[in-house]
Structure 1
Amino acid sequence: MGPLCFLILINDALTDTPHRWKYVDDSTVGIPINTRQPDYSPLQSTLDRLKKWTEENKVTINHNHTKTVVMHFCTSSQAVARPQLSVGAHPLQLVQSTRLLGVTVDDRLWKQHVINIVRTASYKLYMLLRLKSLGTPAKELREVYTAFILPTLMYASPAWSSSLTLTQQQQLERTQKRACKFILGPAYDGYDNALTTLSLPRLSERHREALGKFGRGLLYHPRHRHFLPPDASPPRCATRHINKLVPIRAPTTDQYKNSAIPSIVHMINSV
């Protein structure tokens, strides 16, 4: 009953702000700002109300500098005033990256996350080398890769995979390429041939498939359907292509165009 009672206790926290994301005891709040005239007072007011809520409900915010932090996302080429926020008497540290539910988010979104998962997966590749030296067959090595290493490269990929740069995609693909070399050994004859031999798709294909599956889940989910635009109106006359969802307004930046929700809308309407 402990976890259930805790969820009931914190359920009404931060209900007065639309830009909130909660998962068990982790909470994230944010506001969009005008880069020409940045105003962080609404966010500070939210933090003040949260502090008051914790006092009334006799719970404590973890003020550790790695737990409660501020991150400023800004793609403007002009200098923008940085936020100076606090929770009660505790000023919040402004950081360039932080870990949120297992995903590293930085002020450029996913650069540090890709570095981290490539590093972690590379450490795990030693497992393949060790098993290969003990005479483990390639078929079993493939199963080890898909069970212990591939999940590192796929974790929460619908959130970040569509926003990767070409360089970041190549970094991830090179990790799987190394795994294929370790599994096949002297029999390795090029990446494409190795994927065919091991019946493995490219990581980019896996990421796209996971994004599409996640999008279809949102489309038919009774509670999370609001993350996607509404259904498109039926046409008055027959057309060659009918949109399933209302197309998102033309994005002003490629960064937004390639983000998760616009990419999902484009995929659903293209099917």
Structure 2
Amino acid sequence: MINDVKPVTENSHWKYVDDFNLGEIRLISTPSSLQRDLNHLDNWATENHMLLNPKKCMAMHFSFVRAPIQPPVLTLAGQTLKTTTQARLLGLHIRSNLKWDDQVDVMVSKSSKRLVVISRLRRSGVPIADLNTIYCGYIRPLLEYAAPCWASALTQRQSAALERVQRRACRLMMGRQFVSYTAALQHIGLERLSTRRQKLCTDFALRVERSPRFSTWLPPTRGQQHGRQLRNSARYQQPTGTNRYLTSAIPAMIKSLNEL
């Protein structure tokens, strides 16, 4: 029902089933055009006999300038949108400071609660191989959900928090046989989560590179820029900028592809 809704400006928009998001990148000196798109969205809903619920809509602002600026006041259907510093988008917990504390906390909490399944099955005499299958299919995916979005920006503390969940799972699976985390990984046949995340992100970057639709996320290769086939023609120009930017998803993808 929302396939034909789109902004009237050049702003980006993303749709998934009944979830609709508008985004704009602008200079401080440039006025916001989001209100124009919100007005258009309101008119579209009226024309299609649909009712918007502004109480379920929020505005989030990302700004890292030294002198804080007042974000624009946005309204929808005559009501002012609530401004938030954190939001949940398709299961991904995003903060306005682009840190992943909320995402890691949620993944650790959810996966830790599921470890009780391993504990109960272990006491029932289920073999380690079967416990590992349950862990890999029922618990580990919670620790790796949407990893290409956040893995490159994890802090050491956040990475260790995720790893501790798998360490607990190994201890529960092996019981008294558990001696050390490294030995348990070898015995069970698991990899460290940090190693798996690196592989997951590299595989995702390769799929993006080969995709006719999403390859535009990446910049032109050096060969495409200067038109000559040299030894490094297939490599991308490595982005420069702040550490926050360089550890974000797209620059991290470029770095992974260049290191292959």
2:182 aligned partner, one-letter code: D
Give the RMSD, CA atoms, in angstroms: 2.0
Match of 2:25 in 1: 32
Equivalent position SS for 2:46:
helix
Match of 2:93 in 1: 104
Aligned with 2:3 (options 10, 30, 36): 10
Equivalent position SS for 1:205:
helix
Question: Which is further off, 75-84 or 260-269?
Answer: 75-84
Distance 1:15 1:246 in 2: 33
Match of 2:41 in 1: 50
Do the aligned partners of 1:73 and 1:108 also contact (CA within 8 Å) in 2? Answer: yes
Distance 1:187 1:83 in 2: 59
Post-superposition CA distance 1:94-151 (Å, at most 9, x none):
1121110011111233210110110000100111111111111111111110010001
The Cα shift of 1:83 comes to 3.5
The Cα shift of 1:19 comes to 1.8
Aligned with 2:82 (options 93, 101, 113): 93
- Give the alignment's TM-score, normalised by structure 2: 0.91
Unpaired runs of 5+ in structure 2? none
The Cα shift of 1:199 comes to 1.0
Aligned with 1:138 (options 128, 132, 135): 128
Post-superposition CA distance 1:146-200 (Å, at most 9, x none):
0100010111111111111111111111111111111111111111111111111
Post-superposition CA distance 1:10-32 (Å, at most 9, x none):
33422643421221211111222
1:212 aligned partner, one-letter code: T
Unpaired runs of 5+ in structure 1? 1-5
Distance 2:233 2:116 in 1: 47
Aligned with 1:200 (options 190, 195, 200): 190
Match of 2:157 in 1: 167
1:42 aligned partner, one-letter code: S
Closer, same or farther in 2 for the Cα pair 1:192/1:45, shift >3 Å?
same
Closer, same or farther in 2 for the Cα pair 1:161/1:244, shift >3 Å?
same
Match of 1:3 in 2: none
* Aligned length, in residue pairs: 257
Do the aligned partners of 2:61 and 2:71 also contact (CA within 8 Å) in 1? Answer: yes
Distance 2:16 2:115 in 1: 32
Match of 1:265 in 2: 254
Identity %: 31
The Cα shift of 1:237 comes to 7.5
Aligned with 2:14 (options 21, 38, 49): 21
Distance 2:239 2:122 in 1: 52
1:20 aligned partner, one-letter code: H
The Cα shift of 1:68 comes to 0.8
Do the aligned partners of 1:231 and 1:245 also contact (CA within 8 Å) in 2? Answer: yes
Equivalent position SS for 1:108:
coil
Distance 1:146 1:237 in 2: 43
Aligned with 1:249 (options 226, 239, 244): 239
1:94 aligned partner, one-letter code: T
Post-superposition CA distance 1:68-101 (Å, at most 9, x none):
1111223344333134211121111111211100
Distance 1:155 1:237 in 2: 38
Aligned with 2:218 (options 221, 225, 228): 228
1:246 aligned partner, one-letter code: Y
Closer, same or farther in 2 for the Cα pair 1:59/1:232, shift >3 Å?
farther
Do the aligned partners of 2:5 and 2:41 also contact (CA within 8 Å) in 1? Answer: no
Question: Which is further off, 18-27 or 141-150?
Answer: 18-27
Distance 2:155 2:65 in 1: 19
Distance 1:167 1:80 in 2: 31
